């Protein structure tokens, strides 16, 4: 799709007017990272939805498929080059780190023990 210079200029003008109507400043500051609109953002929608979850699930599906194929290719007593062992170890470590991050991210904010721990740490830091 080709966009004419005039059409692009009109889009920029419309966006500048919308920002002024919302009370937002038009500056030369860099744009914030895309995401949900902040509170009171005049009903702005995110500029785009990059489907990170779907992409990650697709990659995880591919990893599971490859893992299963590798398991079928290898015997329990096969000797692997050290670089192959290192790649498998690194992949397992990375995957575990993501799993633990998501696990914590979903549980910690709802866990009363987490809230108590955060309070205790803050109190200890404030006492210093």
The residue ranges of every structural domain in the chain are 52-127
Whole-number Cα distances in Å, 64 to 61, 95, 123: 5, 11, 44
DSSP secondary structure letter of residue 40: T
Please, what is the average pLDDT of the chain? 77
- State residue 108's pLDDT score: 66
Higher pLDDT, 22 or 123: 123
Using the CB atoms, write b or e for 98-108: b if 16+ within 10 Å: eeeeeeeeeee
Q: pLDDT, tens digit, for every residue of 33-79?
A: 555 555 555 555 555 566 788 889 999 999 999 999 999 999 999 99
- State residue 94's pLDDT score: 92
């Amino acid at each position: 799709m080709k966009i004419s210079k005039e059409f692009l200029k009109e889009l920029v003008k419309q966006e500048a007017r919308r920002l002024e109507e919302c009370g937002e400043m038009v500056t030369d500051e860099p744009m914030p990272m895309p995401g949900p609109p902040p509170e009171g953002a005049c009903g702005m929608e995110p500029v785009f939805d990059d489907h990170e979850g779907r992409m990650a699930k697709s990659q995880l599906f591919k990893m599971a498929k490859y893992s299963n194929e590798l398991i079928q290719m290898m015997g329990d007593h096969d000797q692997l080059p050290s670089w192959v062992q290192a790649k498998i170890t690194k992949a397992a470590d990375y995957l575990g780190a993501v799993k633990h991050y998501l696990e914590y991210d979903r549980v910690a904010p709802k866990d009363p023990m987490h809230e108590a721990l955060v309070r205790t740490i803050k109190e200890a830091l404030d006492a210093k």
